Chains A and B, each alone.
Chain A
């Protein structure tokens, strides 16, 4: 049994009153100055609300939803209280019980956002890509092309990285024009060790010379061109760009950094760097098979080229991010299933020779 004075706040106003406290084995009895008992606080439920804890005083609360507080400063009473209340600094159980709900809410939010990103974004992006007028897509392509060229020139440490051997370019343009049914598609061969080719918004193809080096026959390269023309036809590059911009916006929100420069820097990188979904790649492959059949070119040589690209190391510094191609095994299955698609070579022997040395001639 221990007695002391204390300061009691009833939680209804900021006024306080002096109270007499009595510590029993189970509770603190609180009596006002007239001697009426105004509270019996069970020791088990008491918590010290001082954060950080204060050695010379405690501020007691009875429950999470009761704003009343009892302040005790008398040293002897304090030490008695501390001895009898092992739960002072422990969290209340009610709070703990809310965590499952919270976890569920978090998972729910994550699912909704993920669903939106995974299913909604491609749909929205494709729809937006179809709606964008040609002139706008043309501009988009120019902007992205300029960005890619910047990267390439940085990596090559040279400002002249476009390969422009006349015979080779004309041959490439002829095949692309065949595939695209004479829709205007421009093609740019760029000097780079990276083995890749890609389509940009607004009917632009970029082929890195690394890919030409790895291609062992004309139809391997023709297969790549057919594949990229198929991307252009379906406006995949624009969809990808839209989806990536949206993705960047969402990521920035999740990280709590909307205004930060990291995001702005990241957007450009993502717009260039990310790869197509498997669906897009499959669609482009299927269309490429059709195109190759139509012109009686054999697609089979594309398979060893894909395998070589897959094996290719990705230690190319700045440009390594451009090498991503998902699900290459699945793509090879699709191509193998198509069998032999034609008898002819897409390029003549002379043309093929010019194409193989296209970047040596121009630089």
Chain B
């Protein structure tokens, strides 16, 4: 096994590209995004080399734009109808608020998965290595249906079916991924996914159990609800302890989740075959946490700075606050993406490049081009739904 990926992206170039994209995007009410994304992707794709040869991004702004137009027509009708129907339900009968949200989330989730698959299809088919293109075969609708089915089952089983969902997704995605005329093969087993996610499932189940126990045996939830309605609880410390408890749960859940995702990534790569070659991934959990913490820290720092400005400068002055919020929103709009790219996305990309290995380095240089048809238009649905927003 030896590493075969490398990434030599210049952060300064990414920084100026994002700035340009944001400025032009702002001036054109968002319509520059097709061009901006294309420029940025070309940079990122070309920064990744496989065994010394760079990837090429072939997508064009034109394709993204046409994809957007199609999505616009489709969604204007679809979301026009569904959105109005659901909004209407709420206006007509506020007691149905919860149900309409469930429908809305289900509908959006199914559509999101559909768009995600189309996005992979577009991006892979616009990626070439040594003049040969990648592909994503299969059907977005099937992927979306499988995902929705197992998501619902996961919810009903309190997460015990979640590993199956992840296995089904990886199976469908990877077994439909191709480079040239050769298809990738995924050999992962549900049991391994189950082992990876077991700590997370056990944790959530115990949280639920504790919650149920507290609900039936103490008045803590009633106290919380009273407090949220402005009533003074008998024991104010209960609220404080509860908030601390929730924060602790959130932190543990996040740590367990990220750890599971990293293990899952390693396992998925390990179980992937291509044309007789085996892959391996040793993505280190600690390094991933470091990147996450730094990105989170930079983000928090920025928020703290903004909070400080608001607190000292314009606290109590509603009018000034309203005027200040707009420029702050724009700064946030620009900075959030910059932090995301420079501190999260690029370091992760580099880490992955260092961690993934293959046993036959030259295997990707021995493949014939495929006659498989690539999609004609860009990822319009994904764009409209903000799936993978770069």
Binding site for B on A (CB under 8 A): 9-16, 49-52, 59, 67-69, 95, 98-99, 102, 105-106, 109, 112-113, 116, 128, 132, 136-137, 139-140, 143-144, 241-242, 245-246, 248-250, 252-260, 267, 271
B36, CB-defined interface residue at 8 Å: no
Query: Contacts A51-B42, A105-B69, A113-B72 hold; do A11 and B386 have CB atoms under 8 A apart?
Result: no
**27 pairs, CB–CB < 8 Å, chain A vs chain B:** A13-B366, A13-B367, A14-B130, A14-B132, A14-B369, A15-B130, A49-B56, A50-B46, A52-B13, A67-B131, A105-B69, A109-B72, A113-B76, A136-B92, A139-B91, A139-B92, A143-B91, A143-B92, A242-B84, A245-B83, A246-B83, A250-B79, A252-B79, A256-B33, A256-B68, A258-B385, A258-B386
The one of B65, B84, B108, B366 in contact with A245, judged by C-beta atoms closer than 8 angstroms, is B84
Query: Contacts A136-B93, A259-B108 hold; do A250 and B368 have CB atoms under 8 A apart?
Result: no
Query: Contacts A67-B369, A253-B71 hold; do A258 and B93 have CB atoms under 8 A apart?
Result: no
Neighbouring B residues of A241 by C-beta, 8 Å? 91
Neighbouring A residues of B351 by C-beta, 8 Å? none
Neighbouring B residues of A67 by C-beta, 8 Å? 128, 131, 369
B231, CB-defined interface residue at 8 Å: no
**Alpha-carbon distance A105/B88, docked complex (angstroms):** 33
Neighbouring A residues of B383 by C-beta, 8 Å? 256
Do residues B80 and A246 form an inter-chain contact, with CB atoms below 8 A? yes
The one of B13, B56, B60, B69 in contact with A106, judged by C-beta atoms closer than 8 angstroms, is B69
Binary contact readout B51-65 vs A (1 if CB under 8 angstroms, 0 otherwise): 000101100101001
**Alpha-carbon distance A242/B89, docked complex (angstroms):** 11
Do residues A9 and B88 form an inter-chain contact, with CB atoms below 8 A? no
Do residues B87 and A253 form an inter-chain contact, with CB atoms below 8 A? no
CB A100 to nearest CB in B, in angstroms, measures 12
The one of A10, A143, A252, A256 in contact with B94, judged by C-beta atoms closer than 8 angstroms, is A143
**Alpha-carbon distance A93/B65, docked complex (angstroms):** 19
**Alpha-carbon distance A252/B83, docked complex (angstroms):** 11
Neighbouring A residues of B71 by C-beta, 8 Å? 253
B26-72: which have CB < 8 Å to A? 29-30, 33, 42-43, 46, 54, 56-57, 60, 62, 65-66, 68-69, 71-72
Do residues A16 and B130 form an inter-chain contact, with CB atoms below 8 A? yes
Neighbouring B residues of A68 by C-beta, 8 Å? 131
Do residues A12 and B369 form an inter-chain contact, with CB atoms below 8 A? yes
Do residues A250 and B69 form an inter-chain contact, with CB atoms below 8 A? no
Query: Contacts A144-B91, A256-B33 hold; do A102 and B76 have CB atoms under 8 A apart?
Result: no
Do residues B130 and A9 form an inter-chain contact, with CB atoms below 8 A? yes
CB A257 to nearest CB in B, in angstroms, measures 6
Neighbouring A residues of B277 by C-beta, 8 Å? none
Do residues B79 and A249 form an inter-chain contact, with CB atoms below 8 A? yes
Per the CB 8 Å criterion, the residue count for chain B at the interface is 49
B351-384: which have CB < 8 Å to A? 364-369, 383-384
Neighbouring A residues of B30 by C-beta, 8 Å? 255-256
Query: Contacts A12-B368, A14-B364 hold; do A51 and B46 have CB atoms under 8 A apart?
Result: yes
Nearest residue (CB) in B for A255 is: B30
Neighbouring A residues of B87 by C-beta, 8 Å? 245, 249, 267
Do residues B386 and A257 form an inter-chain contact, with CB atoms below 8 A? yes
B73, CB-defined interface residue at 8 Å: yes
17 more A-B residue pairs beyond the given contacts A9-B131, A136-B93, with a C-beta to C-beta distance below 8 A: A16-B130, A51-B46, A69-B131, A95-B60, A102-B66, A106-B69, A116-B76, A140-B92, A246-B83, A249-B76, A249-B87, A250-B76, A250-B80, A253-B384, A258-B75, A258-B79, A258-B384
Do residues B365 and A15 form an inter-chain contact, with CB atoms below 8 A? yes
Nearest residue (CB) in A for B60 is: A95
**Alpha-carbon distance A242/B91, docked complex (angstroms):** 10
Query: Contacts A9-B131, A140-B92, A258-B108 hold; do A253 and B84 have CB atoms under 8 A apart?
Result: no
B129, CB-defined interface residue at 8 Å: yes
CB A361 to nearest CB in B, in angstroms, measures 31
Do residues A253 and B75 form an inter-chain contact, with CB atoms below 8 A? yes
Nearest residue (CB) in B for A10 is: B131
Do residues A15 and B62 form an inter-chain contact, with CB atoms below 8 A? no
Most buried by B among A13, A16, A132: A13
Do residues B62 and A102 form an inter-chain contact, with CB atoms below 8 A? yes
Do residues B80 and A13 form an inter-chain contact, with CB atoms below 8 A? no
Neighbouring A residues of B46 by C-beta, 8 Å? 50-52
Neighbouring B residues of A11 by C-beta, 8 Å? 131, 369
B159, CB-defined interface residue at 8 Å: no
**Alpha-carbon distance A187/B201, docked complex (angstroms):** 56
CB A122 to nearest CB in B, in angstroms, measures 13
Closest 6 interchain pairs by CB? Answer: A249-B83, A14-B130, A9-B131, A14-B132, A136-B92, A13-B368
Neighbouring A residues of B366 by C-beta, 8 Å? 13-15
Nearest residue (CB) in B for A140 is: B91
B163, CB-defined interface residue at 8 Å: no
The one of A14, A95, A259 in contact with B131, judged by C-beta atoms closer than 8 angstroms, is A14
Neighbouring B residues of A248 by C-beta, 8 Å? 83
Nearest residue (CB) in B for A139 is: B92
Neighbouring A residues of B68 by C-beta, 8 Å? 256
Query: Contacts A13-B132, A249-B84 hold; do A102 and B65 have CB atoms under 8 A apart?
Result: yes
Most buried by A among B73, B87, B108: B87
**Alpha-carbon distance A16/B46, docked complex (angstroms):** 19
Do residues B76 and A253 form an inter-chain contact, with CB atoms below 8 A? yes
**Alpha-carbon distance A51/B75, docked complex (angstroms):** 33
CB B40 to nearest CB in A, in angstroms, measures 11
Neighbouring B residues of A59 by C-beta, 8 Å? 56
**Alpha-carbon distance A50/B55, docked complex (angstroms):** 10
Nearest residue (CB) in B for A264 is: B87
CB B340 to nearest CB in A, in angstroms, measures 16
**Alpha-carbon distance A144/B90, docked complex (angstroms):** 11
**Alpha-carbon distance A255/B71, docked complex (angstroms):** 12
Do residues B56 and A109 form an inter-chain contact, with CB atoms below 8 A? no
Do residues A14 and B72 form an inter-chain contact, with CB atoms below 8 A? no
Do residues B365 and A16 form an inter-chain contact, with CB atoms below 8 A? yes
Neighbouring A residues of B72 by C-beta, 8 Å? 109, 113, 253-254
Neighbouring B residues of A267 by C-beta, 8 Å? 87
Do residues A245 and B88 form an inter-chain contact, with CB atoms below 8 A? yes
Neighbouring B residues of A69 by C-beta, 8 Å? 131
CB A145 to nearest CB in B, in angstroms, measures 11
